[in-house]
């Protein structure tokens, strides 16, 4: 976990930088026509036509590189420069031409994210000796911010990609503590039986079956001036989900190390906010548990009184994420923050509805929904609004308790989960919940298969627009 975007870049005036041309399929003919006869012949021999993800290296007569040409296809992916850092040979490159919509910030972000790889337990044999391609970029605020964002996203990817035996509740706590120490934030944790004494019964119930070393906890970070607008981030930190007594099949457990992906993303977003010194009083809450099986495991049919005072009937122990979030959201809501963001790998229904790359979000705030939808496009950070449909409210009513954590209907699972969470937020001015996969299942430039921090670039931009940065 030592990724630094800076190591993949060279100064703007780096001598001998190789020209890198980024060309769309539509504009390829015009680009080709402007080249020398030798370059035209070479491009013709390769059959290159500007296809997305394809790179052609054009040599000089002496065998050195004259230029590299990277295809952008239909020009739809602003992180396309990730292809360069993934596939170009070692050397220093400079962007000689690219469509105008590729700002220095997007070029930097794509290149940095393309350089990411999780190799904690399987390093390349030549990793220590391998020379990387470097991109020459100007020293500007936009470039620096893009590097900062890449570093935060890489942190989230590392947390999600880490095997569960190396990323339990205590390890997640350590990550938040390091972030607090790095940023001068206040840090706190409530662990084990203390959760009951401090009124977090749902977090305790879900995590009680784990070993003492992996005891449940609520992790907290607070940063910024108390007089600044209050922003609270809540991330689901289920470090492994067996399904509890309603045990998952083996295939369902295969990637359950990523069930703390909401927490990882909120940790990364908190890092962005603090690094950018946004004018907010930030609070990060991570309920961290392992949903294990033992004689202390909570059972289907159990009823618990939540922190909010609502009684919750357990319909399925594999619907644990909304339980731990409920107590954390109730805590966050007590402060009546200006904005509260919840992020969780909550339902398979969300994946069925919108897939891995388009996470749904839920909010009653029309202005917030409009801003998020706009920024999802400008930041190319996809998300899609789904409704908090009141017609399904009766589905989350329990037979014994006031609420159930699992409806009997096989439909609208992401919506009913969001409705459940919404019951625990009554004072917050603006609340939004994201049901994310925290995972990329099909590689794209700058986005390898594995853990991912979805939606946080748009959220960071939203917070920067709304609250600005500190002036001192």
- Of 281, 322, 457, 461, catalytic: 322
Active site residue 27: no
Residues 414, 380, 10, 43, Cα dihedral to 10°? 120
Give the rounded distance of the alpha carbon of 263 from its chain centre.
Answer: 9
Residue 53 vs residues 59, 116, 136, 190: alpha-carbon distances, Å:
20, 17, 20, 48
Spatial contact of 65 and 91, defined as CB atoms under 8 Å apart: yes
Tell me the C-alpha distance between 326 and 363, whole Å: 16
Tell me the C-alpha distance between 235 and 48, whole Å: 45
In the chain, what are the helix, strand and coil shares in percent, each to the nearest 5? Answer: 35, 20, 40
- Of 54, 248, 277, 374, catalytic: 248
Active site residue 186: no
Return the SS3 of 203.
helix
Spatial contact of 178 and 155, defined as CB atoms under 8 Å apart: no
Ramachandran quadrant class, 181 (left: phi over 0; alpha: psi -120 to 50; beta: rest): alpha
HEC readout, 330-393: HHHHCCCCCEEEEEECCCHHHHHHHCCCCCEEECCCHHHHHHHHHHHHHCCCCCEECCCCHHHH
The residues annotated with a catalytic role in the active site are 248, 322
């Amino acid at each position: 976990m030592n990724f630094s975007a800076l190591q993949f870049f060279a100064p703007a005036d780096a001598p001998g930088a190789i020209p890198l041309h980024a060309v769309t399929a539509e504009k390829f003919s015009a680009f080709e026509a402007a080249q020398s006869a030798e370059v035209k012949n070479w491009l013709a021999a390769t059959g290159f036509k500007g296809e997305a993800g394809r790179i052609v290296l054009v040599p000089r007569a002496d065998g050195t590189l004259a230029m590299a040409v990277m295809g952008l296809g239909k020009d739809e992916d602003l992180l396309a420069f990730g292809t360069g850092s993934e596939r170009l040979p070692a050397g220093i490159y400079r962007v000689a031409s690219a469509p105008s919509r590729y700002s220095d910030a997007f070029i930097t972000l794509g290149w940095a994210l393309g350089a990411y790889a999780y190799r904690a337990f399987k390093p390349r044999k030549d990793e220590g000796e391998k020379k990387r391609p470097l991109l020459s970029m100007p020293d500007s605020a936009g470039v620096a911010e893009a590097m900062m964002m890449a570093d935060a996203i890489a942190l989230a990817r590392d947390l999600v990609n880490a095997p569960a035996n190396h990323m339990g509740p205590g390890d997640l706590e350590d990550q938040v503590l390091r972030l607090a120490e790095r940023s001068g934030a206040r840090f706190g944790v409530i662990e084990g039986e203390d959760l009951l004494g401090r009124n977090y019964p749902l977090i305790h119930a879900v995590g009680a079956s784990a070993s003492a070393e992996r005891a449940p906890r609520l992790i907290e970070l607070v940063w910024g001036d108390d007089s600044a607008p209050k922003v609270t981030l809540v991330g689901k930190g289920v470090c492994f989900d067996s399904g509890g007594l309603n045990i998952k099949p083996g295939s369902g457990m295969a990637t359950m190390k990523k069930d703390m992906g909401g927490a990882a993303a909120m940790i990364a977003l908190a890092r962005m906010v603090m690094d950018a010194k946004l004018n907010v009083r930030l609070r990060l809450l991570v309920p961290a548990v392992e949903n294990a099986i033992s004689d202390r495991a909570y059972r289907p049919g159990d009823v618990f009184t939540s922190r909010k005072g609502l009684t919750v009937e357990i319909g399925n122990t594999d619907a644990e994420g909304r339980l731990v979030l409920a107590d954390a959201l109730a805590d966050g809501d007590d402060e009546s923050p200006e904005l509260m963001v919840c992020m969780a790998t909550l339902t398979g229904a969300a994946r069925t509805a919108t897939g891995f790359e388009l996470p749904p979000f839920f909010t009653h705030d029309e202005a917030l929904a409009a801003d998020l939808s706009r920024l999802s496009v400008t930041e190319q950070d996809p998300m899609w609004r789904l409704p908090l449909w009141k017609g399904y409210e009766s589905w989350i009513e329990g037979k014994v308790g006031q609420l159930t954590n699992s409806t009997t209907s096989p439909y609208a699972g992401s919506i009913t989960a969001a409705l459940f969470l919404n019951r625990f937020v009554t004072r917050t001015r603006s609340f939004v919940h994201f049901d994310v996969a925290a995972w990329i299942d099909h590689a794209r430039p700058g986005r390898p298969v594995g853990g991912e921090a979805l939606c946080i670039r748009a959220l960071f931009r939203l917070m920067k627009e709304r609250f600005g940065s500190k002036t001192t």
